[in-house]
Amino acid sequence: METNQKNYFLQLEKDVLAAMEKPTKAYWIALGISASLLLMWAAIWAYQIINGLYVTGINNPVGWGIYLTNFVFWVGIAHSGTLISAVLFLFRAKFRNAFNRTAEAMTLFAIMVAGLFPIIHLGRPWKFYWLLPYPNQRLLWTNFKSPLEWDVFAVSTYFIVSLVFFYVGLVPDLAVVRRYNSGIRKKIYSILSLGWTGSLKQWLHYNKLYLFLAAFATPLVISVHSVVSWDFAMSVTPGWHTTIFAPYFVSGAIFSGTAMVMTLVIPMRKILKLEKYITIDKFEGIAKVMLFTSLIVTYAYIVEYGIAIYSGNIFETSIFKYRAVGDYATIYWIMILCNSIIPLTLFVKKLRRSLVYLFVVSIFVNIGMWSERFNIIISSLSKEFEPYAWGTYSPSFVEVGIFIGSFGMFFTFFLLFLKLLPVLSMSEIKEEVH
Amino acid sequence: MEKFAFDDQAGFLTKLKELVDSGISPKKISIFMPYHVHGVEELLKLQQSSVRFFALVGALTGIILGFGLTIFTSYHYPIITSGKPLVSIPPFIIIAFATTILIGSLITFGGFLILSALPSPKNIAEPEEYGNQFVILVD
Of A40-44, A176-180, B80-84, the range with the highest mean pLDDT is: A40-44
What distance lies between CA A106 and its chain's CA centroid?
Answer: 6
Residue of B nearest to A189 (CA): B124
Contact B119 A195 (CB under 8 A): yes
Write down the mean pLDDT value for chain A.
90
Write down the mean pLDDT value for chain B.
87
Is residue A320 scored above 80 in pLDDT?
Answer: yes
Provide the residue range defining the domain that includes A353.
71-133+161-433
Contact B112 A208 (CB under 8 A): yes
Calculate how close chain A gets to B12, using CA atoms only, in Å. Answer: 11
- Rounded to the nearest 5°, which phi and psi values hold at A277? -100, -35
User: How many Cα atoms are found within 13 Å in the side-chain-facing hemisphere of B54?
Assistant: 20
CA distance A187 to B59: 35
- Beta strand segments in chain B, E: 2-6, 29-32, 134-138
- Rounded to the nearest 5°, which phi and psi values hold at B126? -135, 80
Question: What is the pLDDT, as a whole number, of residue B24?
Answer: 79
Is residue B132 a contact partner of residue A10, using CB atoms and an 8 Å limit? yes
Per CB-CB distance under 8 Å, the chain A contacts of B46 are 200, 204
Calculate how close chain A gets to B24, using CA atoms only, in Å. Answer: 17
Contact A141 B77 (CB under 8 A): yes
CA distance A220 to A80: 11
A31-52: string of b/e by CB count within 10 Å (b at 16+)? beebbebbeebeebbeebbeee
A381: confidence class by pLDDT, cuts 50, 70, 90 = very high
Residue A200 included in any domain:
yes
Per CB-CB distance under 8 Å, the chain A contacts of B115 are 201, 205
Calculate how close chain A gets to B137, using CA atoms only, in Å. Answer: 11
Calculate how close chain B gets to A182, using CA atoms only, in Å. Answer: 12
Is residue A217 a contact partner of residue A85, using CB atoms and an 8 Å limit? yes
Question: What is the pLDDT, as a whole number, of residue B125?
Answer: 83
Domain boundaries, chain B: 2-48+127-138, 51-115
Q: What is the ipTM of this complex?
A: 0.92
CA distance A215 to A345: 34
pLDDT tens digits along A233-254: 999 999 999 999 999 999 999 9
Is residue A434 scored above 80 in pLDDT?
Answer: no
Calculate how close chain B gets to A188, using CA atoms only, in Å. Answer: 9
Q: What Cα–Cα distance (Å) separates residue A126 from each residue in A39, A65, A291? A: 20, 20, 42
Contact A153 B95 (CB under 8 A): yes
Beta bridge mates, B5: B135
Span A196-216, mean pLDDT? 90
Query: Where does residue A139 fall: left (phi above 0), alpha (psi -120 to 50 degrees), or beta otherwise?
Result: left
Tally A–B CB contacts below 8 A. Answer: 184
- Rg (chain B; Cα; Å): 24
Residue A31 included in any domain:
no
Residue of B nearest to A201 (CA): B116
Residues whose CB is less than 8 angstroms from the CB of residue B58 and which lie 6 or more positions away in sequence, other chains included: B103, B104, B105, B106, B107, B108, B111
Residue A17 included in any domain:
no
Residue of B4, B6, B19, B35 to mutate, testing the A interface (most A Cβ within 10 Å of its Cβ): B35
Helix H or strand E segment including A209: helix A200-233
CA distance A175 to A195: 7
In this complex, the residue of A9, A161, A168 whose CB is nearest that of residue B132 is A9
Question: What is the pLDDT, as a whole number, of residue B9?
Answer: 81
Question: What is the pLDDT, as a whole number, of residue A108?
Answer: 93
CA distance A245 to A228: 9
Count helices and strands in chain A by DSSP H and E runs: 16, 0
Percent helix / strand / coil, chain A, rounded to 5:
80, 0, 20
Residue A153's SS3 state is: helix
Q: Any idea which of A121-125, A268-272, B8-12 has the lowest mean pLDDT?
A: B8-12
Q: What Cα–Cα distance (Å) separates residue A261 from each residue in A105, A233, A407? A: 10, 28, 14
Percent of chain A with pLDDT over 90: 61
A131: amino acid identity, one letter: L
CA distance A308 to A306: 5
The closest of A106, A122, A108 to A45, measured between CA atoms, is A122
A351: confidence class by pLDDT, cuts 50, 70, 90 = very high
Is residue A223 a contact partner of residue A216, using CB atoms and an 8 Å limit? no
Angle between helices A100-120 and A397-420 (to 10 degrees): 150
The closest of A249, A63, A328, A227 to A320, measured between CA atoms, is A328
CA distance A268 to A231: 35
Residue A149 included in any domain:
no
Is residue A339 scored above 90 in pLDDT?
Answer: yes
Contact B36 A209 (CB under 8 A): no
- Rounded to the nearest 5°, which phi and psi values hold at A279? -85, 170
CA distance A161 to A213: 8
CA distance A210 to A92: 13
Residue of B nearest to A157 (CA): B102
In this complex, the residue of A143, A157, A208 whose CB is nearest that of residue B102 is A157
Residue of B nearest to A11 (CA): B132
Residue of A nearest to B48 (CA): A204
Residue of B nearest to A427 (CA): B35
Question: What is the pLDDT, as a whole number, of residue A429?
Answer: 84
User: How many Cα atoms are found within 13 Å in the side-chain-facing hemisphere of A52?
Assistant: 2
A2: confidence class by pLDDT, cuts 50, 70, 90 = low
Residue B50's SS3 state is: coil
> What is chain B's length?
139
Residues whose CB is less than 8 angstroms from the CB of residue A109 and which lie 6 or more positions away in sequence, other chains included: A409, A410, A413, A414, A417
CA distance B50 to A208: 9
Query: Where does residue B131 fall: left (phi above 0), alpha (psi -120 to 50 degrees), or beta otherwise?
Result: left
Contact B132 A220 (CB under 8 A): no
Per CB-CB distance under 8 Å, the chain B contacts of A196 are 118, 123
Q: pTM, whole model, 2 decimals?
A: 0.93
The closest of A159, A169, A160, A205 to B111, measured between CA atoms, is A205
- Rounded to the nearest 5°, which phi and psi values hold at B136? -115, 125
Residue of B nearest to A211 (CA): B52
Residue of A nearest to B112 (CA): A205
Choose between A94 and A414: higher pLDDT.
A414
Residue of B69, B106, B124 to mutate, testing the A interface (most A Cβ within 10 Å of its Cβ): B124
Is residue A94 scored above 80 in pLDDT?
Answer: no
Percent of chain A with pLDDT over 70: 99
Calculate how close chain B gets to A71, using CA atoms only, in Å. Answer: 19
Question: What is the pLDDT, as a whole number, of residue B68?
Answer: 95
In this complex, the residue of B40, B59, B124 whose CB is nearest that of residue A200 is B40
Residue of A10, A11, A144, A170 to mutate, testing the B interface (most B Cβ within 10 Å of its Cβ): A144
Per CB-CB distance under 8 Å, the chain B contacts of A140 are 77
Contact A223 B97 (CB under 8 A): yes
pLDDT tens digits along B48-87: 888 899 999 999 999 999 999 999 999 998 888 888 899 9
Count of structural domains, chain A: 1
Question: What is the pLDDT, as a whole number, of residue B72?
Answer: 93
Span A115-121, mean pLDDT? 93
Contact B108 A196 (CB under 8 A): no
CA distance A89 to A83: 9
Contact B116 A206 (CB under 8 A): yes
Residue A141 included in any domain:
no
pLDDT tens digits along A266-317: 988 888 888 888 889 888 988 999 999 999 999 999 999 999 999 889 999 9
DSSP per residue, A228-293: HHHHHHTS--TTT--TTHHHHHHHHHHHHHHHHHHHHHHHHHHHTT-TTTS-HHHHHHHHHHHHHH
